A = this chain, B = another copy of it.
Amino acid sequence: MVKRTSDLGAPADPSPDDDPGSDDGPLHDRVYRALRDALVTGRIVPGRAVTLRGLAQSLGVSPMPVREAIRRVSAEGGLVVGANRRVWVPDMDAARFDELVRARILLEPEAAVRALPHIDAARLDRLRAIDEAIDRALAEGDVEAYMAGNHRFHFEIYAAGPSRVLLPLIESLWLQFGPFMRSVYGRVGTAILVDHHVHAVEAIAARDADRLAEAIRADILDGMEVIDDTVLRRPTGSETSSSPESDPCLHVPG
């Protein structure tokens, strides 16, 4: 039997690692954060359906707040509703990947430059600490820690400014990247990744907007080109036929 629904890990766990975060705010908000976190860190794999009652039981809440959280996440592109009205983690293909990278390159340098004047010394120190944590995760090959650190690094920059428009757009892009990146790193490992964040840190310390934009752009392009050449534009589909279950998220057109 093949499970076609995703249960976010341990369903009946008394202390689940899908912790809805802090216990403040409405329940649907906590469910939203939990779902979003599971998506960004890649704990939910593409190709699996996300069911209302399943997710509700997995988080120990009623289906009602899950409904609103799913609607919210799907509005941000993290989930898609099929024609059957069932909710899926969207598959990645070369066209969507290209569009996502292009959107990131257009928006993130702009957001970084706009946030630059608001980055104080404390935040710069935090950025350096995150960068070191990323290096450790990279050295140890810890995929999840790397992804979490990378996310924190970028948004520690973008969220410095009072942005209320660019930031949600960029979060939507990361939300769409998360599940795909996780399975990619799970396959190719983190050894191929280089740390470009130090350039961004130097540019911020020097208050150099142009260099910061270029560092962000290079960071995005570098990581993405590796994925692009390694996974997405593979010439043959031989590996898919040899191990069909190990690659549930790639949908190479043609």
Interface residues of A, Cβ cutoff 8 Å to B: 26, 28, 67-68, 71-77, 85, 95-96, 99-100, 102-103, 106-107, 110, 114, 162-166, 168-169, 172-173, 176
How far is it, in angstroms, between the C-alpha of A95 and the C-alpha of B162 when the chains are bound?
9
A72's partner among B72, B96, B164, B165 (CB-CB below 8 A) is B72
The number of times this chain is found in the oligomer is 2
A71's partner among B72, B100, B172 (CB-CB below 8 A) is B72
Q: Name the residue of chain B whose CB is nearest to the CB of A75.
A: B75
Decide if B71 touches A166 in the complex (CB within 8 Å). no
How far is it, in angstroms, between the C-alpha of A72 and the C-alpha of B173 when the chains are bound?
17
Q: 11 new A-B pairs (CB below 8 Å) besides A67-B68, A68-B71, A103-B169? A: A26-B85, A28-B71, A73-B75, A99-B114, A99-B163, A99-B166, A100-B165, A102-B166, A103-B165, A106-B106, A106-B110
In the assembled complex, 17 residue pairs joining A and B whose CB atoms fall closer than 8 Å, in A order, are A67-B68, A71-B71, A71-B72, A72-B74, A75-B75, A75-B76, A77-B165, A77-B168, A99-B114, A99-B166, A102-B110, A103-B107, A103-B165, A106-B107, A106-B110, A168-B172, A169-B172
